[in-house]
Amino acid sequence: MSTIISNLPQLSPKMKMADAINQYHSLLTVLPRLGIPLGFGEKSIEQLCSEHHVSLPLFTLIGRIYCQEDYYPTANELQQCPMTDILQYLVSSHKDYLENKLPHIEQHLHTQLASMDKKYITLISNFYAEFRKEMEKHFRYEEEVIFPYLRQILSEQEATESATYQKNTFHQQHDDIEDTLNDLSNLLLKYIPAEISPVERVDMLLDVYALSNDIARHAMMENRILVPYIQLLESKRHD
Amino acid sequence: MTKIAIAEPSILLRTGLEQLLHELPDAEIIFSTDNLSSLYARINALHPDILIVNPLLYDYAKRATIRAEFDNLPNLRLIGLVTSYVESQHQRQFAGVIELNDDFQRIKSTLNQVTNSLQSDGDEPDTDPLSDREKEVLVCLSKGLKNNEIADTLNISVHTVITHRKNIVRKTGIKSVAALTVYAILNNLIEEKDII
């Protein structure tokens, strides 16, 4: 979705955190991953970042990705933000997905299944379990193969041949996760019979949409920030 | 980038509008003009996405059918630039209307709306349920058959199987075989025991 211009104010370090969240609700999921607790009163983004030892350039990058559909950082913006901070944030997002978001949706799903015909139960829970496994596998691959490789480039050691990453890996795997969430929301929205826990179903759908949006942002972090950053570092190393 | 053309007789309004639109990062003015003959000459060559046009450029008799003037450009969206009273039925032919006393915020939101309607175009929603043939293909998929096996089973070409699969995905919005299998069971197309 591209819009001519956003009517909303741009995120800036001096902005009150509360204003930023009220304006851009989806940013809310980012705070716990960065260790910024709620109840921050009138404090600005800048103040909170320094209080909780969050890098301001990192928060700004994440904020732009969440609030600006067409945001691509400049090389300068990238270099202001240490790669290790970005990696740390991505790892804590993975953890948040696996430990909080997915189990929460699964709980909703079990409530749905409880009121369904027995014959559907195994099938739908298998479908979800399979999806969860795929996601775990994908995150593990990033954390065990890709991120260590990046840390290696950072420490300016020669990377081993076997660790060469594939830029396209990011794209393809995230598309798959988003597709599966999309399949899930279509099943819930269109094909599970009307009488099955309708109120809970709406809640569940909202959660699936929110997760789907968050994973899309997560993918943007990797595609628009991490990948260009790696290219930048690699080109420097070859100089 | 949204390509915009402007047709407005007043130089004050034209330059004012150009100035405002220059501030929009995703909008590009490809031409602006004060008369119809130059408008027609350029619009067919330059194919803007949006034409912002003052209906007063047209004689009163023609003012109700401005949209029809551009029937040869089906993807073009018209925005009326309304500077004096224009009857509401004349306004209806426009995808959006900009009025003299609109502030910048309002002009931006009008442009946004019209731009968004551009993108959803050409994608007619398909409200037909799955055809019998598509259901047969879906059942085969759920049973774990590959495209060539489905082709053999149903006595159709692999190419046709692929077309059916595309249609199934388009209609249901579901891509993975796992989720399509759930769909098939929920719709009683197959029994659970049929799945491997």
Phi/psi region, residue A134 (left: phi>0; alpha: psi -120 to 50; beta: rest), is alpha
Whether A116 shows a pLDDT value over 60: the answer reads yes
Q: Which of B:8-27 have CB within 8 Å of A?
A: 23-27
User: C-alpha angle with apex B21: B20 to B25, nearest 5 degrees?
Assistant: 120
Distance from CA of A200 to the nearest CA of B (A): 19
CATH ID of B2-119, from 3.40.640.10, 3.60.10.10, 3.40.50.2300, 3.40.50.1980:
3.40.50.2300
Contacts of B172 in chain A (CB under 8 A): 186, 190-191
The pLDDT value given to residue A238? 65
Class of domain B132-194 as given by CATH = mainly alpha
Q: What is the mean pLDDT of residues A84-98?
A: 95
Q: Helix B177-186 and helix B158-172: axis angle, to 10°? A: 70
The pLDDT value given to residue A163? 44
Sheet holding B27-33, edge to edge: B27-33, B2-7, B50-53, B77-82, B96-99
| Complex-level ipTM | 0.76
Q: Look up residue B68 and give its amino acid.
A: A
- Which residues, given as ranges, of chain B have pLDDT below 50? none
Phi/psi region, residue A139 (left: phi>0; alpha: psi -120 to 50; beta: rest), is alpha
The pLDDT value given to residue A6? 45
Contacts of A5 in chain B (CB under 8 A): 23-26, 108, 112
pLDDT grade, residue A228 (50/70/90)? confident
**Which range among A15-29, A110-124, B10-24, B148-162 shows the weakest confidence by mean pLDDT?**
A110-124
Interface test with B, best of A1, A2, A3, A4 (most B CBs within 10 A): A4
Domain with CATH 1.10.10.10 in chain B: 132-194
Domain with CATH 3.40.50.2300 in chain B: 2-119
pLDDT in tens, A34-68: 999 999 999 999 999 999 999 999 999 999 999 88
Distance from CA of B177 to the nearest CA of A (A): 10
Three-state DSSP at B70 gives coil
The pLDDT value given to residue A4? 41
Q: Between chains, do A187 and B182 touch, taking CB under 8 Å as contact? A: yes
